[in-house]
Amino acid sequence: MVKMRETENSVEKKVGIKYYSSMEDGVEGNLKKSAEDFIVREVISNQYEEYNEEKFSEYEHTAFKVKAKNWETNNLIREISDRLGVSKNRVGFAGTKDKKAITEQYMTIYNIKKKQLEKLKIKDVELTNYGLTNDRNSLGNLIGNKFEITIHDIINPQNISKITKKLNKNGIINYFGIQRFGTKRPNTHIVGKKIVQEKPEKAVKNYIAKSYPQEPEQTRKARKEIWDNWDNKPYLKGLKKLPNHLRYERAMLDHLHSHPNDYIGALRNLPQNLLQMFVHSYQSYLYHKMINERIKQKIPLNQCTEGDVVCYTDLETGILNRYATERVEPHNKQKIQEMIDVEKAFITAPLIGTQTKRAFGKMGEIEDKILNKEGTKPRDFKIKSMPELTSKGLRREITLKTQIKAQTKNNRLKLKFFLPKGCYATLITREYMKNGYN
């Protein structure tokens, strides 16, 4: 296995995004100067009936495509539902999109007619492609996303073709994006670890009081003061010091002021999806550490060894199925490698949970080594103090294959590519930029 280039970005290092899949120097540059620099188009599996007013009563949902500029998905759904005077829970969607972007995504809404939607006049939002369906749109319907990303002020344009050829041939390491851990405060995995290990006080302390250099000075000072005086229960003082926009931290401090030592109760002041994200982030961190150890031991990412667990693409749809897994053994090793070579199978690493299928052989030893070093066991993901956060786990492919088209003009680099759901566009841009997250 060839030597791999390591990141120099301190935030990436902290969350286990350690290696690049290309060795060449990057183009550096800047991302997201405007919404037009980040275009995302959803690809979904749903098939809708053409909209017909006379058939409206036969269906539960109206489906439509939303093209939006500078709208984060949850805020847009809230705006649509508020203007219609209905609950936001009526709206079904397949995935969330960032604000600073032009996005095209598909939604469904329960028992609302096309003419009601056509009356909506929301700035920088266009609704088209109406249909009828009995199936609410959800994450399970998402196949992936098509991206068009522009990077400005580039240098080293001579390296672009080399990087593109390498990534298109070999794929990239399928890390999670930095946003899974927090770009300014990369600590969601730390909070998740404390929850999994049944240390709720430490989870709360890390979430409220751990300061990071990327934060404003006032916020850093307030967090540090709370951290340094934690044993004295500085909850009321913390409320006075922390800025008002840190509403989650303030809600937790307010709860602790009224209910000292109720750290589980403090955590439950946070939204359920954020609490789940803490656990998922810790699973992602462990996954990163296991991939990095495999690379360190010079075990190829696209050559299977006995004991590896692979997942397969669906024979009919060609979509990767992370639940269709098989362990590599002497009698099937050659056949599985042939399928890996044609991108019908992919070597996996675990997102550890209570029921995660484990590897044997060298990869199994790596999984055990990382878990032992962390002091974590798969059974720990059955979280007794917060059973709603229990995770069964999953296996995830360790390489990501896509075909990238790269074009340069006037010191700008435009990248076009498709990614399956659950994969991060920042993994592509970091390979070209190699300067962190500008």
Quick one: pLDDT at residue 242? 96
Q: Provide CB contacts within 8 A for 400, sequence distance 6+.
A: 171, 172, 173, 174, 419, 420, 423, 427
Q: How confident is the model at residue 312 (pLDDT cuts 50, 70, 90)?
A: very high
Q: How far apart are CA 148 and CA 101, in angstroms?
A: 10
Classify residue 1: in a domain, yes or no.
Answer: no
Classify residue 406: in a domain, yes or no.
Answer: no
pLDDT for residue 432 is more than 60: yes
Quick one: pLDDT at residue 183? 86
Residues 266 and 302 in one domain: no
Q: What is the average per-residue pLDDT within 146-169?
A: 96
Distance from CA of residue 82 to its chain's centroid?
A: 28
When the pLDDT of each residue in the chain is averaged and rounded to a whole number, the result is 95
Residues 302 and 368 in one domain: yes
Quick one: pLDDT at residue 14? 94
Tell me the three state secondary structure of residue 437.
coil
Residue type, 339: M
Domain end residue (candidates: 250, 270, 290):
270
Residues 235 and 307 in one domain: no
| 363-389 burial: b if 16+ Cβ within 10 Å, else e | bbebbeebbeebebebebbebeebeeb
pLDDT for residue 438 is more than 50: no
> How do residues 133-157 score in pLDDT, each as one tens digit?
999 999 888 999 999 999 999 999 9
Classify residue 327: in a domain, yes or no.
Answer: yes
Quick one: pLDDT at residue 256? 98
Residue type, 286: L
Residues 61 and 127 in one domain: yes
Secondary structure element (H or E) that encloses residue 69, with its range: strand 61-69
Domains contained in the chain, number: 3
| Least confident stretch, 23-37, 198-212, 356-370 | 23-37
Full domain range(s) for residue 209: 188-270
Q: How far apart are CA 406 and CA 257, in angstroms?
A: 55
- State the burial class of residue 241 (Cβ atoms within 10 Å of its Cβ: 0-12, 13-18, 19+): middle
Classify residue 412: in a domain, yes or no.
Answer: no
Classify residue 418: in a domain, yes or no.
Answer: no
Q: 341 catalytic, yes or no?
A: no
Share of the chain above pLDDT 90, in %: 92
Q: How far apart are CA 127 and CA 134, in angstroms?
A: 20
Among 172, 237, 119, residue whose Cα is nearest residue 5: 172
300 is written with which tokens? Answer: 């190829």
- State the burial class of residue 41 (Cβ atoms within 10 Å of its Cβ: 0-12, 13-18, 19+): middle
CATH number assigned to the domain comprising residue 227: 1.10.1510.30
Classify residue 276: in a domain, yes or no.
Answer: no
Classify residue 212: in a domain, yes or no.
Answer: yes
pLDDT for residue 331 is more than 60: yes
Q: How far apart are CA 349 and CA 305, in angstroms?
A: 13
Residues 303 and 384 in one domain: yes
Helices (H), 329-420: 333-341, 361-374
Tell me the three state secondary structure of residue 144.
strand
Q: How far apart are CA 32 and CA 426, in angstroms?
A: 12
Residues 42 and 139 in one domain: yes
Quick one: pLDDT at residue 98? 84
Q: How far apart are CA 26 and CA 430, in angstroms?
A: 8
Quick one: pLDDT at residue 32? 80
Tell how many helices (H) and how many strands (E) occur in the chain: 14, 16
Q: How far is CA 423 from CA 146, 255, 343, 358, 396, in A?
A: 12, 36, 16, 22, 11
> How do residues 202-256 score in pLDDT, each as one tens digit?
999 999 999 999 999 999 999 999 999 999 999 999 999 999 999 999 999 999 9
Give the dihedral sign, CA 217/223/224/226: positive
Helices (H), 322-425: 333-341, 361-374
Quick one: pLDDT at residue 169? 95
Q: How far is CA 301 from CA 304, 327, 373, 426, in A?
A: 8, 15, 22, 20
Residues 257 and 309 in one domain: no
CA angle 356, 358, 360 (to 5 degrees): 175
112 is written with which tokens? Answer: 């609302």
pLDDT for residue 173 is more than 50: yes
Quick one: pLDDT at residue 4? 92
Other C-beta atoms within 10 Å of 9: how many? 16
CATH number assigned to the domain comprising residue 69: 3.30.70.3160
Residues 306 and 209 in one domain: no
Q: How confident is the model at residue 1 (pLDDT cuts 50, 70, 90)?
A: low
- Given 25, 98, 135, 262, the catalytic residue: 98
Quick one: pLDDT at residue 361? 97
Distance from CA of residue 239 to its chain's centroid?
A: 31
pLDDT for residue 436 is more than 70: no
Q: How far apart are CA 84 and CA 232, in angstroms?
A: 49
pLDDT for residue 309 is more than 60: yes
Classify residue 435: in a domain, yes or no.
Answer: no
Residues 137 and 46 in one domain: yes
- Does the pTM surpass 0.85? The reply is yes
Alpha carbons within 13 A on the beta-carbon side of 334: 1
Residues 345 and 391 in one domain: yes
Strands, sheet with 394-397, edge to edge from the N-terminal-most edge strand: 320-327, 309-313, 345-351, 394-397
Residues 222 and 127 in one domain: no
DSSP code of residue 5: P
Residues 42 and 140 in one domain: yes
CB-CB contact of 305 with 362 (8 Å): yes
pLDDT for residue 437 is more than 60: no
pLDDT for residue 376 is more than 50: yes
Q: Provide CB contacts within 8 A for 23, sequence distance 6+.
A: 3, 4, 5
